[in-house]
């Protein structure tokens, strides 16, 4: 079994921490796949091939979103920060700074 995703000895990590690490790795892989599909679609001339790639891209969006939701549920401070940034109009950096401050001030469960 590969342990490249761990920075500490896996045997010393809880099952919860190992699951969290797996989901982080999966999220990263989905983001990478989204980038690859975006590039492929940008240059693909064959309409049938392009349609298949677009369908695959939609699956990657779904997988990324499910994995992100899993991780956000696991970490309340992360979820609180994300709520202040995601789906907001306006300055992303400003929202990020405000959300980080609010999440740090919020009681941790």
Whether 93 and 79 have beta carbons less than 8 Å apart is answered as no
Q: What is the pLDDT of residues 85-95, one digit of tens each?
A: 999 999 999 99
- For residues 18, 21, 26 and 29, what is the CA-based torsion angle, rounded to 10 degrees? -140
Q: Do 20 and 49 share a domain, yes or no? A: yes
pLDDT band at 1 (very low <50, low <70, confident <90, very high): very low
Q: Is 49 among the domain residues?
A: yes
Answer whether residue 7 shows pLDDT above 80. yes
Q: Is residue 59 part of a domain?
A: yes
Burial class (CB in 10 A: 0-12, 13-18, 19+), 81: buried
Kindly report, residue by residue over 12-66, the tens digit of the pLDDT.
999 999 999 999 999 999 999 999 999 999 999 999 999 999 999 999 999 999 9
Domain with 49 in it: 10-73
């Amino acid at each position: 079994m590969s342990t490249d995703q761990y920075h500490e000895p896996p045997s010393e990590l809880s099952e919860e921490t190992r699951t969290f690490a797996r989901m982080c790795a999966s999220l990263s892989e989905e983001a990478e796949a989204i980038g690859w599909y975006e590039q492929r679609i940008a240059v693909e001339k064959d309409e049938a091939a392009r349609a298949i790639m677009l369908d695959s891209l939609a699956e990657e969006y779904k997988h990324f979103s499910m994995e992100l939701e899993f991780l956000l549920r696991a970490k309340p401070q992360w979820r609180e920060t994300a709520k202040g940034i995601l789906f907001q109009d306006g300055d992303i950096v400003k929202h990020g700074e405000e959300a980080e401050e609010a999440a740090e001030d919020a009681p941790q469960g």
